[in-house]
Amino acid sequence: MSQRVVVVGVGRVGLPLALYLADHGHEVTGLDVDPSHVESINAGRMPFLENGAQEVMDRVRATGRFRASVTTEPVGEAEVVILTIGTPVDEHLNPVFNALEKVLASIGPRLRKGQLLILRSTVSPGTTEYVRRHLEATTALKIGQDLFLAFCPERIAQGHSFKELPKIPQLVGALDDESRARAAAFFRPLVETVLESDARSVEIAKLFCNVYRYIDFAIGNEFMMLADQQERDIYEVLRLVNSGYPRGGLKSPGFTGGPCLYKDGFFLVDRTPFPDLLTTAWKINESVPAYLIAGLRERMGSLEGKRVLVAGLAFKRDIDDARNSLAYKAIKVLKRYGAEPLEH
């Protein structure tokens, strides 16, 4: 059934989702506070690289089922509103809540009876409860009776949205049965599997997925340093560990950054008295650029005046997103040693 859907925050997550929904028959408006972003979308240009996105954009624009807007009026006309704004950490690595507060302040007055509000950004445990409290305090709407609220996190790997959106089980968490049922019904025609639970379990599940991956990469980096200490090549050791061994699967070392993995652990360690594994993973991953450049200095001597090519500035391969990329940390360290980094 075609519905009017507003996706609030058409960035790396929101735009592919908005296009996917429009491609599946919904009437979609993407809202964003960035006018240049909205302009680019309305001119039919993908503002960033995402496999297959330009084709989907061309297709849905031809149907008239997709447009972008800087104003919040479309929220009032929608049946479903999905929040996909960024949820960063600040310079002290504390989760920043005011982005969510701001978006609720801007769309809150437009929300009306019967709508389904889906939180899709990655959030701290308890955020869905916070949103319910906030909306019940600032509007006349009661969650579960007037307005239906669910947390349905995005779990795609950037660059692979269109391949993964239909395949990845969609987690649906809510604070009441009616909201959960409505959110599950919305996603069921769009994905192969819907898994329903309470909101907090889903909030934690999303964070555990990312943090597990981040720790897994930290083990790869730690093992690189241990192999180095034994004067052995980590890739040779990985070949021995992973070849044909059913309990292998060690990750290769590398720069582990990006806007998600880097920060999501801090949503969990915020209030815990036992954060060591998570924060140690962060320390290991963040130390890799300096570690590699120390190795370079050992082999080459002083880097003063030497030109060093840093190739690959995005935080992972085949995308154009350099947010929280450790390549920039490497460039900073190189400059500190007097080298002349060339960026590509």
Ligand X SMILES: NC(=O)c1ccc[n+]([C@@H]2O[C@H](COP(=O)([O-])OP(=O)(O)OC[C@H]3O[C@@H](n4cnc5c(N)ncnc54)[C@H](O)[C@@H]3O)[C@@H](O)[C@H]2O)c1
List contacts with ligand X (CB under 6 A). 8-14, 31-34, 37, 84-87, 99, 102-103, 106, 121-122, 154, 156, 158, 259-260
**Please, what is the minimum distance in Å from the beta carbon of residue 297 to ligand X?**
34
**Please, what is the minimum distance in Å from the beta carbon of residue 305 to ligand X?**
38
The residue among 329, 330, 312, 311 whose CA lies nearest residue 321 is 312
* Cβ contacts of 231-235, under 8 Å, gap ≥ 24: none
Q: Which amino acid is at 307?
A: R
**Please, what is the minimum distance in Å from the beta carbon of residue 153 to ligand X?**
7
**Please, what is the minimum distance in Å from the beta carbon of residue 235 to ligand X?**
27
Q: How far apart are CA 199 and CA 216, in angstroms?
A: 26
Q: How far apart are CA 81 and CA 203, in angstroms?
A: 19
Closest residue to ligand X in the complex (CB): 11
For ligand X, the closer of residues 49 and 290 by Cβ is 49
**Please, what is the minimum distance in Å from the beta carbon of residue 252 to ligand X?**
20
For ligand X, the closer of residues 147 and 260 by Cβ is 260
**Please, what is the minimum distance in Å from the beta carbon of residue 27 to ligand X?**
19
**Please, what is the minimum distance in Å from the beta carbon of residue 315 to ligand X?**
10
For ligand X, the closer of residues 122 and 256 by Cβ is 122
**Do 199 and 174 touch, CB atoms closer than 8 A?**
yes
For ligand X, the closer of residues 176 and 270 by Cβ is 270
For ligand X, the closer of residues 223 and 267 by Cβ is 267
For ligand X, the closer of residues 82 and 238 by Cβ is 82
For ligand X, the closer of residues 164 and 228 by Cβ is 164
